[in-house]
Amino acid sequence: MVFARVFRILAVLALTILFDRAAIADAAVTDVRFGKHVDMTRFVLDLSESVKWRILMLPDPYRIVVDFPRLDWRSQTRQGAKGKGVIKRFRFGNFSSDRSRLVLDLVGPVDVHRNFILPPQGRHPYRFVIDLKASNRGAFLDRARSLRPNRKQAAVAVPGQRLPVPRERNRPWTIVIDPGHGGVDPGTIGRSGVYEKEIVLAFGKELRNALLKEPGYRVVMTRESDIFVRLHRRVEVARRVDADLFLSIHADAIRERGIRGATVYTLSEKSSDSEAEQLANKENKSDIIAGVDLGDQTGDIAEILIDLAQRDTLTWSRQFAAALIPELSRRVRLRSKPHRFAGFRVLKAPDVPSVLIELGYLSNRDDEKMLLTASGRAQVIKAIRSATNKYFKKRRFSAK
- The SS3 assignment for 19 reads helix
Quick one: pLDDT at residue 400? 52
Q: Do domains 26-147 and 173-398 have the same CATH topology?
A: no
Of 3.40.720.10, 3.40.640.10, 3.40.630.40, 3.10.20.600, which CATH number belongs to 173-398?
3.40.630.40
Determine which helix (DSSP H) or strand (DSSP E) holds 251, and give its type and residue range. Answer: strand 245-252
Can you give the pLDDT at residue 294?
A: 54
CA 103 to chain centroid, in Å, comes to 14
Q: Tell me, what's the pLDDT at 29?
A: 92
- Sheet with strand 63-69: strands edge to edge: 54-58, 63-69, 99-106, 87-96
Instruction: Tell me if 332 sits within 8 A of 357, measured CB to CB.
Output: no
354-382 pLDDT, tens digit each = 999 999 999 999 999 999 999 999 999 99
- The strand pair at 262-267 and 334-342 is best described as parallel
Burial of 130 per CB tally in 10 Å (0-12, 13-18, 19+)? buried
Chain centroid to Cα 267, Å, comes to 19
Instruction: Identify the pLDDT of residue 216.
Output: 93
pLDDT of res. 18: 40
Spatial distance between the Cα atoms of 73 and 28, rounded to a whole number of angstroms:
6
Contacts (Cβ under 8 Å, ≥6 apart) of 342: 265, 267, 268, 271, 272, 276, 277, 279, 280
Minimal CA–CA distance to 294: which of 60, 9, 21, 24? Answer: 60
pLDDT digits over 138-148, tens only? Answer: 999 999 888 87
CATH 3.40.50.2020 fits 26-147, yes or no: no
The single-letter code of the amino acid at 150 is: N
The one-letter code for the residue type at 274 is S
Distance CA 283, CA 266 (A): 14
Q: Residue 197's pLDDT is what?
A: 94
How many Å apart are CA 147 and CA 57, to the nearest integer? 7
Q: Where are the domains of the chain?
A: 26-147, 173-398
Using CA atoms of 171, 172, 174, 177 in order, give the dihedral in degrees to the nearest 10. Answer: -170
pLDDT tens readout for residues 256-305: 888 899 999 998 867 777 877 777 777 777 777 677 765 544 444 444 33
Give the type of residue at 99: R
- Tell me the CB-side half-sphere exposure of residue 290, using CA atoms within 13 A: 28
- pLDDT digit of tens for each residue in the chain (400 aa)? 444 444 444 444 443 444 343 345 688 999 998 888 888 999 999 999 999 999 999 888 899 999 999 998 888 877 777 788 999 988 888 888 788 899 999 999 999 999 999 999 989 999 999 999 999 999 999 998 888 765 443 333 333 334 334 444 468 999 999 999 999 999 998 988 899 999 999 999 999 999 999 999 999 999 999 999 998 899 999 989 999 999 999 998 888 888 899 999 998 867 777 877 777 777 777 777 677 765 544 444 444 334 444 567 888 999 999 999 999 999 999 998 999 988 888 887 878 999 999 999 999 999 999 999 999 999 999 999 999 999 999 888 665 5
Which residues lie below 8 Å from residue 130, measured CB to CB, with a gap of 6+?
Answer: 42, 43, 55, 64, 66, 104, 112, 114, 115
pLDDT at 25: 65
Dihedral sign for Cα 137, 108, 185, 100, please.
Answer: positive
SS3 369: helix
Tens of pLDDT, residue by residue over 142-172, are 998 888 765 443 333 333 334 334 444 468 9
pLDDT of the residue at 366: 94
Q: How many CB atoms lie within 10 A of CB 330?
A: 10
Rounded Cα–Cα distance for residues 210 and 219 (Å): 10
